[in-house]
């Protein structure tokens, strides 16, 4: 199972993103491999907000129609939310986001070791990064 992060989704849908070619290549390999892809609803909310602002509604439509149909979306529980907030406070880092902490929480709870992401905070947390 592979966790899919906002940075990967953005890179997939933005041809101007520096990581776009690597994202497309990785995505094709993941889809062809039949690997289970998972994200959480906080990543979806963040991705939609950023795409709508930076890329427009067509990108949001593509996310919904082309990508989220392939990716399982796990919903954050109130307990998961609380744990993610506690992680932010414990880390005492202003630039660590609630969405990232929710992703780390989802990955740990599901035993996921690999993330499709361009965000190095996943590596700092001990996860393997794709591409």
Distance from C-alpha of 96 to C-alpha of 113, rounded to nearest angstrom? 19
Q: Determine how β-strand 72-74 pairs with β-strand 128-130.
A: unpaired
Tens-place pLDDT, residues 116-131? 999 999 999 999 999 9
> Does the domain made of 2-75+112-130 have the CATH classification 3.40.50.720?
no
Q: Tell me the backbone φ, ψ of residue 130, rounded to 5 degrees.
A: -115, 140
- Extract the tokens encoding 1: 């199972």
Kindly list the domain boundaries of the chain, sorted by start residue: 2-75+112-130
pLDDT of amino acid 36: 98
Phi, psi of 119 (to 5 degrees): -95, 115
> Per-residue pLDDT tens for 36-48?
999 999 999 999 9
The pLDDT assigned to 94 comes to: 87
What pTM value is reported for the model? 0.96
Q: Could you tell me the CA-to-CA distances from 20 to 13, 23, 26, 76 in Å, in that order?
A: 8, 5, 10, 28
Q: How many other C-beta atoms are found inside a 10 Å radius of the C-beta of residue 13? A: 22
Segment 66-87, tens digit of pLDDT: 999 999 999 999 999 999 999 9
C-alpha gyration radius of the chain: 14
Q: Cβ distance 8 to 71 under 8 Å? A: no
């Amino acid at each position: 199972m592979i966790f899919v992060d906002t940075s990967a989704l953005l890179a997939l849908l933005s041809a101007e993103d520096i990581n776009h070619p690597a994202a497309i290549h990785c995505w094709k390999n993941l889809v062809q491999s039949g690997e289970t892809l998972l994200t959480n609803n906080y990543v979806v909310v963040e991705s939609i907000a950023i795409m709508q602002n930076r890329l427009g509604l067509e990108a949001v439509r593509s996310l919904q129609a082309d990508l989220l149909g392939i990716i399982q979306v796990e919903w954050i529980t109130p307990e998961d939310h609380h744990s993610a907030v506690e992680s932010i406070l414990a880390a005492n880092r202003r630039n660590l986001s609630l969405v990232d902490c929710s992703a780390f929480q989802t990955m740990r709870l599901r035993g996921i070791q690999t993330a499709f992401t361009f965000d190095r905070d996943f590596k700092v947390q001990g996860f393997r990064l794709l591409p």
